[in-house]
Every structure is written in C-alpha cells, then in structure tokens.
C-alpha cells in the first residue's frame, strides 16, 4: 500500500513538472507537430484495419444471435452502430493504442533515461519532463478523438460490407438500422472517454519510462508495465465514466 | 571557479562520498581520478545538481548552487556544458539539430546566426560534412566530438566531462583530451574531467583530485603524481605492467 501511494505521489509530482510553463513555446509547438505525426498519423493504419474487422465481426455475431423472425433485421445495423460507438471505437481502440503508443512512449523515454539523454536535457536547464511528455499528451488529446471518429466510420463500413457479403442483411436494412433511433450524445460520450483514455495512455506510459533505472532489461519491463497499467486504468475509467455519463 | 566544501552523499544509508572539499580552477583542466566505483561520477553528478547532496556546499563562483531552487538552478545550468560517458546525443535528431538544440531552446538568434554557430562549433571539433547524419551513423570518437560541439554551443563557463575517452582507441582518446584542453584554455572555462585513464592524466592533468572509496585521498598535478607517497594512489597509478616498469626505471 505504501509503495502504491509513493508511486501515485511520484506520478502527480511528474504531472506537475509536465504542466509547468514551457521554456520556449515555439520549440514545444514543433515537438507537438512531430508527435502528432509519430503518435497520431502513424496509428491510422492499425486503427483502420482493427475497426474494419471489429465492425464485420460485430455485425455477423449480432446477425447469428438475432435469427428469431420476431426481430427486424435492421436491428443488426443498429446493434453494430451502438456497439461500435459506445464501446469498441473508444475502449477497444484505446486498448490497442495502449499497446502500440504506450509501449512506444515508455521505451522511447526509458531509453533516453538509461542513455543519459534526459540528464543531458536537465544539465542544459531544460525541464525534461515537460519537453518530453507535454507534446505527447497534447498530440494524443488532439488526435485520438480523430482516430475514434475514423474508427466509428470504418467499423460501421466493415459491418455493412460483412453483413451484405455474408447475406445476413440487405444493404437497405443495414443503412436503415444505423440511422434508426440515433442518439448524437453517444458520440459525445465516446469522445469524452477517448480524451480520458488518451491522457491515461500517454501519462502512465511516460511515467513508467521516465523513472526507469538500469539498462535495456528495465526499459523492456517499463514498456510492459506501461501497457498493463494503462490497460487496467482504461478499463477502470471505462466503468466510472459510463456510470457518470450514461446513468 | 567551482568550490566544493564538505560534500557528503549517500544512497540508501550507504555513504558514497565523505567530506569532499576541493577547488576547481578556471582555465585549467581539473581531473577527478579514481577506480571504478570510487564515487567519481556521483561527485560529478552532485556538482551539476543531478544528485541531491546530504550536506556540504557547492559554489559556482559566488553562487551557492545547492541552495538554489529549480528555476534558479536553470539559470546556472545555461552556463554549463556537459559531455557524458555515452555522449548522450539525442537519437532522433541529426548532428546539426543536436548542436542547434541549446541555441533553439535558450537564444533568440536568427536562423542564419544559429547555422553559423552550429557550423563553427562543428568545425572547431573537426566534424565536417556530417550535419545531416544521425548519431547512430557516427563512430564513437565522432559522437564524443559532436557532444563537445553541443556542450560549447552556448559558450559555457563550466565544462564537465564524464569519462570522455572511454571506449575510444588511444589515438582518438588523445585527440579528445587535447580538444578539451584547448577549449578550456580558449574560453577560460572551469573544466572538470572524470577519468580513470592514466594517459589522460599525464596528457592534460593540470589539477588532479584522487578519490578512493568516497574519500579525497590526494590532490596535485601531473608532475607531482609520480612522486606521491599516497599508497592507494600509487597502486592506482602504477597498476599496469608498463607503469610498473616506468616506476622501477625512475
């Protein structure tokens, strides 16, 4: 318990350092643009592929579980839409990004720590925590909602393709289903969750990397811890946010 | 001038440095020597503020460095250049961007002025036509020289070098030592070099401090080191066969 509280304290002290006034805003702006490409644009591929197949599977599973003729077939489209918006494009995509982006951040910062690059920044008088972590947080907060919206679109498209190609639903019914009883607030809910998850992935992974001690083995461990802790926190906050935003 | 008074440092109740007091003079290459694990790097990192000390005083000229807060220390650190054992160049930046980094961060120079300064620093350390290379594309000696170029880009008053020639062949090591000595004299910097390389000691050791098991055992210069009556120092200095032969011939 004491160790947990110590780590929690270190995490918040690090965040305080991260959110201090930047030395040179222009340099931070350039760094943020770089991170937008590195952490954001480079994630489009994996999010697109995963979302497409996620949507396809959701549609097929919904179809096979609602074979009863009492249920109108457009419910398959509705189920696909709501599952993707409410859960898959925010939470599952966040878990995927925790694996990709989280391990990337932890290993990058961890390697900088063990090769004394962070010490070099400190010696120069640069706030290393802010310089290394703040641009990553801003970049993911800005770009992850875009990834979520992309995931929603691609997921529904994947569902439509799979549903119509497998012959479980007609194109007209699917399109009617995804328009039926649409609640725009679900998108807001999904984007709010995405913002929280983006912050968790970046800050927790950066924390794991920033305090690495040792060598390459410890960097690997930090990277694993970053993914595990980010994932657990994402699932925990998913429950809390769902209760707060949908109840 | 950097002055250390009664410096003590421990990790988890293990005393690593005990009561170290020493003056490091400007315009001279000051060497901290000792065996691996003797506390040299901890002393150097304590002086630059990377380690918090338990007690004692660290003076940068007339400023008591260890009592300053984070932002006040930042001002002093802008006058510090440091060469790390592994060079610590930023992997994601090119040679040019590495040397330019302190200029981007702390000056309002124009792009043209920065370009001139970067080229001047790189030429000064004999790095030519390598501006667009990444650290992974450089040899060990080139990395050290680029790190020196980065360290001097802001005209520092204080230069710290942690084992500057570790992992280098003897000829490149001498070149790096000579470069450090030349720059120290040229810019009248207070330079502190951590080393356990006796070639460096005899090459550039204008002031030498010998540390053993966290204690300062001896202080002098390269002319005095061979005649010392400090047993631990003699064991260190005359550890290899060549040095032993030299001692016997003296």
Reduced to 3 states (helix: H, G, I; strand: E, B; else coil), residue A83 is helix
Q: Which residues of B fall within a CB distance of 8 Å from A27?
A: 104-105
Cα A207 to Cα A194, A228, B131, distances in angstroms: 20, 13, 33
Of the candidates B45, B77, B85, the beta carbon closest to that of A124 is on: B77
In angstroms, the CA A148 to CA A146 distance is 5
In angstroms, the CA B201 to CA A117 distance is 27
Q: Which domain holds residue B122?
A: 88-155
Q: Specify if B178 maps to a domain.
A: no
* Closest chain B residue by Cα to residue A114: B88
**N- to C-terminal Cα distance for chain A?**
32
Of the candidates B48, B85, B104, the beta carbon closest to that of A123 is on: B48
Query: Are B25 and B113 in the same domain?
Result: no
Confirm if B60 and B222 have CB atoms less than 8 A apart: no
Task: Give the B-side interface with A, CB within 8 Å.
Answer: 45, 48-50, 73-78, 80, 82, 84-86, 88-91, 101-102, 104-106, 160
Give the closest-approach CA distance of B250 to chain A in angstroms. 42
Query: Are B32 and B73 in the same domain?
Result: yes
Query: Are B107 and B204 in the same domain?
Result: no
In angstroms, the CA A86 to CA A73 distance is 21
Reduced to 3 states (helix: H, G, I; strand: E, B; else coil), residue B148 is helix
ipTM, interface predicted TM-score of the complex: 0.86
Query: Are B73 and B196 in the same domain?
Result: yes
| Structure token digits, residue B76 | 């002093």
Query: Cβ contacts of residue B97 below 8 Å, gap of 6+?
Result: B90
Which segments within chain A are labelled E, that is strand? none
Query: Are B244 and B203 in the same domain?
Result: yes
Query: Cβ contacts of residue B128 below 8 Å, gap of 6+?
Result: B122
Which run of H or E residues covers position A78? helix A74-83
Q: Specify if B177 maps to a domain.
A: no
CB-based contact B88 A124, cutoff 8 Å: no
Q: Specify if B149 maps to a domain.
A: yes
Q: Specify if B180 maps to a domain.
A: no
Reduced to 3 states (helix: H, G, I; strand: E, B; else coil), residue A63 is helix
Nearest in space to A198 (alpha carbons), one of A17, A20, A36: A36
**DSSP symbol at B3:** E
CB-based contact B84 A111, cutoff 8 Å: no
Sheet of B63-64, strands arranged across = B14-24, B2-11, B55-60, B63-64
| Structure token digits, residue A92 | 């599952």
In angstroms, the CA A160 to CA A168 distance is 10
CB atoms within 10 A of CB A62: 22
CB-based contact A120 B80, cutoff 8 Å: no
Query: Are B74 and B92 in the same domain?
Result: no
Query: Are B75 and B139 in the same domain?
Result: no
Block mean pLDDT (10 aa), chain B, length 250: 91 89 90 89 91 92 89 87 90 94 91 93 89 92 91 91 85 86 89 87 86 88 80 79 71
Q: Tell me which residues of chain A have a pLDDT lower than 50.
A: none
Q: What is A9-52 written as a DSSP string? A: HHHHHHHHHHTSPPS-HHHHHHHHHHHIIIIIGGGHHHHHHHHH
In angstroms, the CA A150 to CA A137 distance is 20
Structure pTM?
Answer: 0.88
Nearest in space to B29 (alpha carbons), one of B83, B87, B66, B78: B83
Q: Which residues of A fall within a CB distance of 8 Å from B78?
A: 124-125
Query: Are B6 and B71 in the same domain?
Result: yes
Q: Specify if B179 maps to a domain.
A: no
CB-based contact B91 A123, cutoff 8 Å: no
CATH number of residue B242's parent domain = 3.40.50.300
Q: Which residues of A fall within a CB distance of 8 Å from B102?
A: 124
| Number of independent structural domains in chain B | 2
Query: Are B135 and B226 in the same domain?
Result: no
Q: Specify if B55 maps to a domain.
A: yes
Of the candidates B76, B88, B105, the beta carbon closest to that of A117 is on: B88
Return the pLDDT at A8: 92
Confirm if B171 and B200 have CB atoms less than 8 A apart: no
Residue B111's Cβ-count burial label (10 Å; 0-12, 13-18, 19+) is exposed
Of the candidates A23, A26, A116, the beta carbon closest to that of B86 is on: A116
Nearest in space to B109 (alpha carbons), one of B71, B158, B155: B155
Query: Are B54 and B166 in the same domain?
Result: yes
Reduced to 3 states (helix: H, G, I; strand: E, B; else coil), residue A114 is helix
Q: Specify if B198 maps to a domain.
A: yes
Confirm if A81 and A184 have CB atoms less than 8 A apart: no
Q: Specify if B245 maps to a domain.
A: yes
Task: Give the A-side interface with B, CB within 8 Å.
Answer: 23-24, 26-27, 111-112, 115-117, 119-120, 122-127
Query: Are B17 and B127 in the same domain?
Result: no
Query: Are B124 and B206 in the same domain?
Result: no
Return the pLDDT at A48: 96
Chain centroid to CA A224? 16
Strand partners, B209: B32, B219
Return the pLDDT at B250: 64
Phi, psi at residue B4, to the nearest 5°?
-110, 130
């Amino acid at each position: 318990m004491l160790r947990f509280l110590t780590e929690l304290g270190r995490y918040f002290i690090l965040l305080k350092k991260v959110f201090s006034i930047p030395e040179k805003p222009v340099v931070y702006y350039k760094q943020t643009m770089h991170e937008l490409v590195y952490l954001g644009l480079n994630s489009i591929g994996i999010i697109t592929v995963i979302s497409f197949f996620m949507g396809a599977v959701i549609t097929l599973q919904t179809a096979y579980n609602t074979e009863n003729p009492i249920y109108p077939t457009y419910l398959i489209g509705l189920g696909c839409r709501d599952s993707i918006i409410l859960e898959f494009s925010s939470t599952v995509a966040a878990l995927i990004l925790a694996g990709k982006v989280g391990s990337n951040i932890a290993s990058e910062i961890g390697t900088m720590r063990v090769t004394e690059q962070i010490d070099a920044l400190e010696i120069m008088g640069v706030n290393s925590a802010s310089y290394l972590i703040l641009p990553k947080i801003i970049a993911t907060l800005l770009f992850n909602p875009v990834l979520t919206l992309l995931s929603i679109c691609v997921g529904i498209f994947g569902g439509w393709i799979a549903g119509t190609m497998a012959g479980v639903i007609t194109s007209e019914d699917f399109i009617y289903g995804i328009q039926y009883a649409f609640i725009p607030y679900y998108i807001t809910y999904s984007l709010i969750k995405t913002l929280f998850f983006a912050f968790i992935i970046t800050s927790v992974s950066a924390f794991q990397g920033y305090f690495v001690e040792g060598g390459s083995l410890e960097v690997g461990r930090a990277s694993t811890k970053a993914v595990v802790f980010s994932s657990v926190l994402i699932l925990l906050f998913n429950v809390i946010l769902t209760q707060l935003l949908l109840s | 001038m950097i002055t250390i008074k009664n410096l003590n440092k421990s990790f988890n109740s293990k005393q690593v440095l005990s009561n170290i007091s020493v003056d490091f003079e400007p315009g001279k290459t000051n060497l901290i020597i000792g065996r691996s694990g003797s506390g040299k790097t901890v002393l150097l990192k304590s002086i630059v503020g990377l380690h918090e000390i338990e007690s004692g005083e660290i003076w940068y000229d007339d400023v008591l460095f260890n009592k300053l807060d984070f932002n006040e220390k930042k001002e002093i650190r802008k006058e510090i250049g440091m060469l790390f054992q592994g060079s610590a160049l930023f992997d994601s930046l090119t040679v040019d961007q590495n040397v330019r980094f302190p200029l981007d961060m702390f000056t309002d120079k124009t792009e043209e002025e920065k370009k001139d300064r970067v080229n001047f620093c790189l030429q000064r350390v004999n790095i030519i036509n390598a501006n667009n290379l990444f650290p992974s594309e450089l040899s060990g000696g080139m990395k050290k020289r680029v790190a020196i170029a980065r360290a001097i880009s802001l005209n520092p008053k204080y230069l710290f070098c942690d084992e500057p020639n570790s992992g280098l062949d003897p000829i490149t090591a001498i070149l790096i030592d000579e470069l450090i000595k030349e720059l120290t004299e040229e810019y009248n910097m207070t330079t502190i070099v951590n080393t356990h390389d006796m070639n460096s000691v005899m090459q550039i050791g204008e002031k030498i401090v010998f540390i053993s098991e966290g204690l300062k055992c001896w202080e002098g210069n390269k002319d005095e080191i061979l005649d010392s009556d400090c047993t631990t120092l003699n064991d260190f200095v005359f550890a290899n066969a060549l040095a032993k032969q030299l001692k016997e011939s003296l």
